[in-house]
Amino acid sequence: MEEKLPIKRLSRLTWLQAIIIGFIFYLLVYNNGTLSNIIPLTLLTTSGILLVGHADICLMIVLSKYFSIRSKKFSTYRILLTYPVSVLIYLLLRPCFSYESDKAWSFWDAGSFFAFVGSGIVINTLIMQLHNSVLLYEHKLHADLELSRLKTANAEATNLLLKQQIQPHFLFNALNTLKALYHKDVHTADTYIVHMANFLRASIYHHASRISTLEDEVKLLCDYLEMQQIRFGKALDCTILLPEETLKNYYLPSFSLQPLLENAIKHNDFTQEAPLRVQICHKDEWLIMSNNLQKKKMKGPSTNYGLANLAERYHLWSGDDVIVKEDQSSFSVSIKLLKNEYSNH
């Protein structure tokens, strides 16, 4: 996105600077008591600063049509043009100052000439420094915004890649399980295929969604869980302790819970004698998924996208971190539930 000039902010700063310098000029002249026409001279001083400041803004607007405001050409042409313009403005104001000061004015008065040329240079330098501070701040805001957009785009691309990788892996295991079930138990195979269809439908429906209700996430998880429990039987024990109110009133980044359960299944050994016990509960606006730790001795291939991607997406959208805890006997992931204001993110 092209960076634009903060014209309103520059104009407000010019007005503020003109008022402050005009007020200081008034106090100095008033205390010295050397001039009688204090107010007209103060207004002329303020007007000179306003004219120089807005001339700088107008030149920046013109130059921005031809050059990027971050380019060296923009800065060079701005310096080459603003100083002559500011000196010209002060030379044009010179007879007005002489008239209000009740002094005889002559264009060939060298002292007066160089005094006003110097005033134009000093005022323009001061205004340029203040305007540059605004531009520098704007550059920083623009850079931060671009960085945030790049991070979001990267997180979304990684999330899409995660979903694309899950589908073939999931289908391969699911179809193999389904084939085996139809040779043993047709009724169970029918139940399995219903949950598989529900899971695929939900994952496709939420393909482009960033945020989902907790209820939808749990439904997606339950279809996946039912399939895995048919596959592993009593070796997989998952308990979901979430009240109805929590399910309906909170949100999560889409496709959050299923990869966490899949990771637990993928990285642990479990049997009917030593089952994998997974618990999902709610505590102080945090959702906690925990499981007993029975790490596999032989680790299979892993993309390492699931948990890292969830943590990055969650931090971008809420500013909070995903908390991961591991000790000798357990592993848990805690996610702060998102409230209504995130529902249309």
Q: Give Cβ neighbours of residue 241 (< 8 Å, ≥ 6 apart).
A: 279, 280, 281, 282
Q: Give Cβ neighbours of residue 240 (< 8 Å, ≥ 6 apart).
A: 218, 221, 222, 280
Cα dihedral 227, 230, 232, 237 sign: positive
Is residue 1 within 8 Å of residue 146, measured between CB atoms? yes
Is residue 306 within 8 Å of residue 260, measured between CB atoms? yes
DSSP character at residue 115: H
Instruction: List the domains of the chain with CATH numbers.
Output: 7-145 (no CATH), 186-342 (3.30.565.10)
Each residue of 127-162: pLDDT tens digit? 988 898 888 888 888 788 877 777 776 666 565 555
Structure tokens at 326: 């591991």
DSSP character at residue 292: E
Residue 345 has a pLDDT of 46
CA dist 214 and 71 (Å) reads 48
Residue 29 pLDDT > 90: no
pLDDT-above-70 percentage for the chain: 83
Q: Which of 277, 249, 273, 283 is nearest to 264 (CA)?
A: 277
Each residue of 207-265: pLDDT tens digit? 556 788 899 899 889 988 988 888 888 999 999 999 998 998 899 888 888 888 988 99
CA dist 289 and 238 (Å) reads 10
Residue 35 has a pLDDT of 56
Residue 279 has a pLDDT of 95
Structure tokens at 14: 């010019």
In this prediction the pTM is: 0.52
Q: Mapping DSSP to helix (H, G, I), strand (E, B) and coil, where does residue 279 land?
A: strand
Residue 240 has a pLDDT of 93
Per-chain mean pLDDT for the chain: 81
CA dist 66 and 18 (Å) reads 29
Distance of CA 228 to CAs 114, 170, 243, Å? Answer: 88, 11, 24
Binning pLDDT at 50, 70 and 90, where does residue 300 land? low
Residue 13 has a pLDDT of 87
Could you give the angle at the alpha carbon of 48 between the alpha carbons of 44 and 52, nearest 5°?
170
- pLDDT, average across residues 37-46: 84
Q: Give Cβ neighbours of residue 317 (< 8 Å, ≥ 6 apart).
A: 210, 211, 253, 338, 342, 345
CA dist 243 and 282 (Å) reads 8
Binning pLDDT at 50, 70 and 90, where does residue 284 land? confident
Dihedral pair phi/psi, residue 46, rounded to 5°: -65, -40
Each residue of 303-315: pLDDT tens digit? 455 677 777 777 7
CA dist 290 and 214 (Å) reads 17
Q: Mapping DSSP to helix (H, G, I), strand (E, B) and coil, where does residue 213 land?
A: strand
Residue 280 pLDDT > 90: yes
Q: Which of 268, 292, 266 is nearest to 279 (CA)?
A: 292
Residue 177 has a pLDDT of 77
Residue 209 has a pLDDT of 61
Binning pLDDT at 50, 70 and 90, where does residue 205 land? low
Say what the alpha-carbon torsion angle 215, 216, 218, 220 is, to the nearest 10 degrees.
160
Phi-psi region of 56 (alpha: psi -120 to 50; beta: other; left: phi over 0): alpha
Each residue of 83-105: pLDDT tens digit? 999 999 988 888 887 777 767 66
Structure tokens at 252: 């999560």
More confident residue, 188 or 50: 50
Q: Give Cβ neighbours of residue 181 (< 8 Å, ≥ 6 apart).
A: 188, 189, 192, 230
Amino acid, res. 235:
A
